[in-house]
Each structure stands twice: as C-alpha cells, then as structure tokens.
Structure 1
C-alpha cells in the first residue's frame, strides 16, 4: 500500500518507542484531544512542515507509515471546514511497528541522537533512522526524499509487470493445452500466481526496514 507520513518531534517519537505506540495528533495536541492523528500523503508533508513547523528548532522526524500495518481506520478528510484538499487521518494510536522509517528532517541537528534499530518494550525492533539530504549518521551517502519516493514507485511498477507477465504466461500455457477456455483459465491462474509472487517480493523488500 502507498505509505503515508506524519511529522513528529523527536522526543515524542522516542517516547512512543518506549510505550509501543504514538499518540500525538499534531504539534502540541494529543490524540485524546483531537480524536485522530494528522497524516499526509507524499506530496503534502512538506507543505505541512512549512506551515506548522517552520519555527520549530528542536529535532523532528518524518514518520513513514505503512497503512497495511495499522489496526485502526484511516479516513480521508478535509483538515478544516471550507478546505478542499483532503488528508489521511488515523483514528487511533499509531503502533511503532507500523512506522517503517523515521527520517530526520533536513536541518535537524539531533539526528545522531535518534534511535537506530533498538528493541522496544514489545520485543519488536524499531525502524532504523536514516537522514534525508543531510548525510546518514553511519557515513552512508545521503538520499533525497524524492529519489526514495520514486524508487519505491518504480519497484511497485515492477511488481505489477511481474503479475502481468506471469498472467500472460499462464494464458499462453492454457491456450497450448486447450483451445476451449484454456486461455482464460490459464490467464487467471497465472495472474493469481503472479500476485502471490508480487506479495512475497514486497514483504521481503520491506522486512528489514
């Protein structure tokens, strides 16, 4: 599923890692107060940062969230009456296991203090923190967010091509076996197999993140 994003203060994220879930709705407001956690799509979070977090001087992180790992609803809603653009709202606590990456935002001076792969209270390993545009703490080359985003999209396109290719192969095999309905049956069987293969590849790619 397409990831969604949430900007968090580093201290709030560290507290969430110890507790096992994140319960801050937005800057200076809790989930209990608002009723949901504000989130953004990939093309929205920079606008949120510029509008609501421009004056923040303490370390922040961008949480990349896998919606498939959430056990609470995500609702697309306008942030205020009269607004036209919708944003994803998470109606419940955000488990730390649903956060596949915690990315220090550009200009963050506290990136080195961010936790890297430490085990939380539930026994699950927290995601490794990598920096965007400022150089990784472990000496790896910095990677821009746009490059990261488009690489993920390219991988998803490849998975779709795998499904189509296996489906076409199944149709060809079915046609060779039987002209009477064999193409359709083989195509469906091939597409089903392709989906299984794509799901396995997707899970393996994101397992170590």
Structure 2
C-alpha cells in the first residue's frame, strides 16, 4: 500500500477537483485527473496536498478558473491499486498518488467557494436564499413600475 518515503503519508490527503471531473468519477468509480487540464496518464501521478497546503495550491492553480470546484478528502489506506508517495517539490513536500483514486477512498467532498474555502450547507443555503430574494425584489420593482406606468 502507501509508501512512506521520504516522510510518513498523512492519514488524509486532499485534492482540488472540478465538479465535472468529480461527477465523472461518480459514474466510472475512479478519479484520474492529475491537475487542471492534465490527466494521470499525462503526469504520471495525481497531485495532492496536506490540509494546510490546500489554500496555496488553490491560489496558485485554481483561483479564477471559472469552474465549480470541490475539495476531495482522500483516505490513503482505502486506495486500491494506487500508491501514495510524499515527495519533495521545491522547499516543501507533497503527497502524490501513483494510480487512479477509487471512489471508496474519497471520504468527503466539499464545494469550494471563489476564495478556496470550503462551503458549508448553511453557506450554500444562505447564498441561494440571497439570490432568490434578489430576484423577488427585482420582480416586485418591475411590477411596481408597470403598475405606475399603466395607471
């Protein structure tokens, strides 16, 4: 299973995915996107990070992408047919997944907001409610204008 060189593999690793890529995983059962626009086949592994590295990865590669993003939480012990290696990248180390990620290894999927933070169900509900209230106010204003013009 997971290789622990040069340092121990964390209990959980994280990967930012587009919503479209994640939906494909729900259909196929495996995830194989390495990073934005690159597959496992292109790169040789899937980029991942420790939790404290997620924001920096988001800022460097995903901010302004214009797609709905999700944060995958992966349990390396549940990977089947893939190996995790923690490898040096510049002055830091990052976990890399050598092989496709099976759906059952993904223990959580959280939507990311435009700043790279995870969105809670409450924040999604409030955001949706704000949009609906804005539309309702716009319709009421339009109806008021029409009534005033016609009277």
Matched, 1:74 2:84: yes
Matched, 1:85 2:92: yes
> What corresponds to 1:55 in structure 2?
64
Which of 1, 17, 33 is residue 42 of structure 2 equivalent to? 33
Maintained 8 Å contact 1:69/1:98:
yes
Using the alignment, how far apart are the partners of 1:97 and 1:29 within structure 2? 22
Which of 97, 103, 117 is residue 104 of structure 2 equivalent to? 97
| Corresponding residue pairs, total | 114
Deviation at 1:57, TM superposition (A): 1.2
Which of 91, 112, 119 is residue 132 of structure 1 equivalent to? 119
Using the alignment, how far apart are the partners of 2:29 and 2:120 within structure 1? 28
Q: Normalised by the size of structure 2, how large is the TM-score? A: 0.69
Using the alignment, how far apart are the partners of 2:94 and 2:25 within structure 1? 23
Q: Normalised by the size of structure 1, how large is the TM-score? A: 0.51
Maintained 8 Å contact 1:9/1:61:
yes
> What corresponds to 2:73 in structure 1?
64
- CA deviation vs aligned residue, 1:109-139 (integer Å, no higher than 9, x gap): xxxxxxxxxxxxxxxxxxxxxx625736578
Using the alignment, how far apart are the partners of 2:104 and 2:123 within structure 1? 22
Change (3 A) 1:11 1:94: same
What's the RMSD between the two structures over aligned residues? 2.0
- Tell me the secondary structure at the aligned position of residue 6 of structure 1: strand
Structure 1 residue runs of 4+, over 3 Å off? 136-139
Higher strand share: 2
Using the alignment, how far apart are the partners of 1:137 and 1:36 within structure 2? 32
- Tell me the secondary structure at the aligned position of residue 104 of structure 1: strand
Maintained 8 Å contact 1:106/1:133:
no
State the structure with bigger RCO (CA 8 A, min sep 6), 1 or 2: 2
Using the alignment, how far apart are the partners of 1:138 and 1:70 within structure 2? 33
Structure 2: stretches of 5+ with no match in the other structure = 1-9, 127-151
